[in-house]
């Protein structure tokens, strides 16, 4: 099956194609399914970094649907990793719900990168939601000695039980925020709390990855209003509302 203009654009940008094979699949909450894959040689070819993501191609109704997902617990030695799928209506969710060992899926690696903050921050401030929860988990594991305040926007009660929420609960401050007002409640809580928590902006690290509108608003607030230097911030809209 062809991949249309998206596939052509990724090829022009030197995207690298791989085939992944399902090894296991399990529901980690009532609204989230984790599928583990054999990587088809990807991790050996590309290396691994925190927040690393890939594009998967889901065939449905005779056409491809491309979605990006963060790797969960990648193991280069074993050549395996997991991906967490939100269970809702859509090609990716339907594919993940039926995934079984031996199934395969095509993937493209292009655009994923990460630069660790230097010097190491005194504290991290992470703002995300269910889509970016795996990336948040990878950051907490990559900088295990750095405490973090995490605002995690939730759409279901089960989101508070996502695996990342069990990462260093005694070391980190998790703040769950139900999604309301198209992300407005999350933005308001961060804008209210962050100034009193931030300390020296040059010693912090602020990472924001939620819907595009909220991400843009908070990135502007952090950089312009709070004066956090651009190298000490990262902002990427993970999805469009």
pLDDT at 8 over 60: no
**Superfamily of chain region 4-109:** Translation factors (2.40.30.10)
CA gap 163, 181 in Å, rounded: 26
pLDDT at 222 over 60: yes
Across residues 68-96, what is the average pLDDT?
A: 95
pLDDT at 2 over 60: no
pLDDT at 14: 59
Domain boundaries, the chain: 4-109, 123-235
- 123-235: CATH topology is Rossmann fold (3.40.50)
* Tens-place pLDDT, residues 90-99: 999 999 999 9
- Read off the tokens for 68: 């990006």
Rg (CA), the chain: 18
List Cβ neighbours of 39 (8 Å cut-off, separation of 6 or more).
Answer: 18, 20, 74, 79, 80, 81
Across residues 128-152, what is the average pLDDT?
A: 94
pLDDT at 9: 47
pLDDT at 4 over 60: no
pLDDT at 239: 84
In the chain, what percentage of residues exceed pLDDT 70? 93
Q: What are phi and psi of 48, to 5 degrees?
A: -130, 140
pLDDT at 12: 40
Matching fold, domains 4-109 and 123-235: no
List Cβ neighbours of 132 (8 Å cut-off, separation of 6 or more).
Answer: 70, 209, 210, 238
Name the burial class of residue 8, with classes exposed (0-12), middle (13-18) and buried (19+) by CB atoms within 10 angstroms of its CB: exposed
pLDDT at 64 over 90: no
* Tens-place pLDDT, residues 224-236: 999 999 999 999 9
pLDDT at 60: 83
Q: What is the pTM (predicted TM-score) of this model?
A: 0.90
pLDDT at 167: 67
């Amino acid at each position: 099956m062809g991949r249309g203009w998206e596939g052509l654009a990724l090829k022009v940008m030197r995207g690298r194609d791989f085939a992944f094979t399902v090894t296991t699949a399990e529901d980690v909450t009532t609204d989230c399914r984790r599928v583990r894959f054999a990587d088809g040689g990807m991790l050996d070819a590309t290396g691994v970094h925190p927040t690393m993501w890939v594009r998967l191609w889901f065939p449905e109704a005779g056409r491809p649907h491309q979605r990006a997902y963060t790797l969960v617990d990648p193991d280069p030695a074993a050549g395996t990793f997991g991906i967490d799928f939100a269970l809702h209506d859509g090609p990716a969710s339907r594919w993940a719900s039926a995934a079984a060992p031996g199934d395969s899926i095509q993937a493209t690696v292009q655009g994923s990168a990460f630069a660790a903050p230097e010097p190491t921050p005194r504290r991290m401030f992470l703002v995300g939601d269910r889509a970016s929860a795996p990336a948040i988990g990878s950051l907490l594991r990559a900088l295990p000695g750095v405490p973090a305040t995490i605002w995690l926007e939730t759409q279901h009660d089960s989101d508070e039980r996502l695996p990342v929420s069990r990462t260093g609960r005694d070391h980190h401050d998790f703040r769950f925020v139900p999604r309301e007002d198209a992300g407005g409640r999350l933005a308001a809580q961060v804008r209210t709390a962050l100034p009193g928590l931030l300390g020296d902006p040059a010693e912090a690290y602020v990472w924001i990855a939620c819907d595009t509108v909220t991400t843009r608003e908070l990135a502007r607030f952090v950089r312009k209003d709070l004066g956090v230097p651009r190298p000490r911030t990262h902002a990427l809209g993970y999805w469009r509302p």
